[in-house]
Protein backbone atom coordinates (compact mmCIF):
# COMPACT_ATOMS: atom_id res chain seq x y z
CA UNK A 1 0.00 0.00 0.00
CA UNK A 2 1.05 3.55 -0.67
CA UNK A 3 2.07 5.58 2.36
CA UNK A 4 0.08 8.63 1.50
CA UNK A 5 -1.40 11.88 2.62
CA UNK A 6 -4.29 11.41 0.23
CA UNK A 7 -7.52 11.68 2.16
CA UNK A 8 -9.90 10.87 -0.70
CA UNK A 9 -10.54 7.10 -0.33
CA UNK A 10 -11.24 6.59 -4.04
CA UNK A 11 -7.94 8.09 -5.12
CA UNK A 12 -6.05 6.37 -2.31
CA UNK A 13 -7.42 3.04 -3.53
CA UNK A 14 -6.51 3.92 -7.10
CA UNK A 15 -2.96 4.81 -6.10
CA UNK A 16 -2.60 1.55 -4.20
CA UNK A 17 -3.77 -0.34 -7.29
CA UNK A 18 -1.38 1.70 -9.46
CA UNK A 19 1.53 0.90 -7.14
CA UNK A 20 0.65 -2.80 -7.23
CA UNK A 21 0.62 -2.83 -11.03
CA UNK A 22 3.97 -1.07 -11.24
CA UNK A 23 5.51 -3.36 -8.59
CA UNK A 24 4.34 -6.44 -10.45
CA UNK A 25 5.61 -5.15 -13.79
CA UNK A 26 8.96 -4.22 -12.28
CA UNK A 27 9.28 -7.66 -10.64
CA UNK A 28 8.71 -9.34 -13.99
CA UNK A 29 11.23 -7.10 -15.74
CA UNK A 30 13.89 -7.61 -13.11
CA UNK A 31 13.50 -11.40 -13.26
CA UNK A 32 13.98 -11.64 -17.03
CA UNK A 33 17.25 -12.80 -18.49
CA UNK A 34 18.24 -11.64 -21.93
CA UNK A 35 17.41 -15.12 -23.29
CA UNK A 36 14.36 -15.80 -21.11
CA UNK A 37 11.02 -14.83 -22.56
CA UNK A 38 8.89 -17.13 -20.40
CA UNK A 39 7.27 -14.29 -18.47
CA UNK A 40 6.33 -12.19 -21.49
CA UNK A 41 2.71 -13.38 -21.29
CA UNK A 42 2.60 -12.19 -17.67
CA UNK A 43 3.75 -8.77 -18.86
CA UNK A 44 0.82 -8.72 -21.26
CA UNK A 45 -1.59 -9.37 -18.40
CA UNK A 46 -0.05 -6.62 -16.28
CA UNK A 47 -0.20 -4.25 -19.24
CA UNK A 48 -3.90 -5.05 -19.65
CA UNK A 49 -4.48 -4.34 -15.94
CA UNK A 50 -2.65 -1.04 -16.37
CA UNK A 51 -4.84 -0.12 -19.32
CA UNK A 52 -8.00 -0.89 -17.35
CA UNK A 53 -6.62 1.14 -14.46
CA UNK A 54 -6.11 4.15 -16.75
CA UNK A 55 -9.74 3.91 -17.87
CA UNK A 56 -10.89 3.79 -14.24
CA UNK A 57 -8.58 6.69 -13.33
CA UNK A 58 -9.91 8.85 -16.16
CA UNK A 59 -13.49 8.13 -15.16
CA UNK A 60 -12.89 9.03 -11.50
CA UNK A 61 -10.82 12.14 -12.21
CA UNK A 62 -13.50 13.47 -14.59
CA UNK A 63 -16.32 13.07 -12.09
CA UNK A 64 -14.33 14.27 -9.06
CA UNK A 65 -14.56 17.83 -7.89
CA UNK A 66 -11.10 17.95 -6.39
CA UNK A 67 -9.99 20.72 -4.10
CA UNK A 68 -6.66 22.41 -4.63
CA UNK A 69 -5.29 20.40 -1.68
CA UNK A 70 -6.43 17.10 -3.21
CA UNK A 71 -4.81 17.98 -6.53
CA UNK A 72 -1.52 18.69 -4.75
CA UNK A 73 -1.81 15.37 -2.87
CA UNK A 74 -2.28 13.51 -6.15
CA UNK A 75 0.69 15.25 -7.76
CA UNK A 76 2.82 14.45 -4.70
CA UNK A 77 1.87 10.75 -4.91
CA UNK A 78 2.84 10.53 -8.56
CA UNK A 79 6.14 12.19 -7.70
CA UNK A 80 6.84 9.65 -4.93
CA UNK A 81 6.10 6.71 -7.21
CA UNK A 82 8.14 8.24 -10.04
CA UNK A 83 11.15 8.72 -7.75
CA UNK A 84 10.90 5.15 -6.50
CA UNK A 85 11.45 3.71 -9.98
CA UNK A 86 13.81 6.29 -11.47
CA UNK A 87 17.15 5.35 -9.99
One digit per residue, the tens of pLDDT, for the chain of length 87 reads 545 678 888 988 998 999 999 999 888 888 776 666 777 788 889 999 999 999 999 999 999 999 998 889 899 888 888 888 776
Whole-prediction pTM: 0.79
Angle, helices 68-85 vs 9-31, to 10°: value is 10
Amino acid sequence: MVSSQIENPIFLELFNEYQSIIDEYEAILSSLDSDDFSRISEMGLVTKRASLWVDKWEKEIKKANLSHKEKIEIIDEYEKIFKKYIK
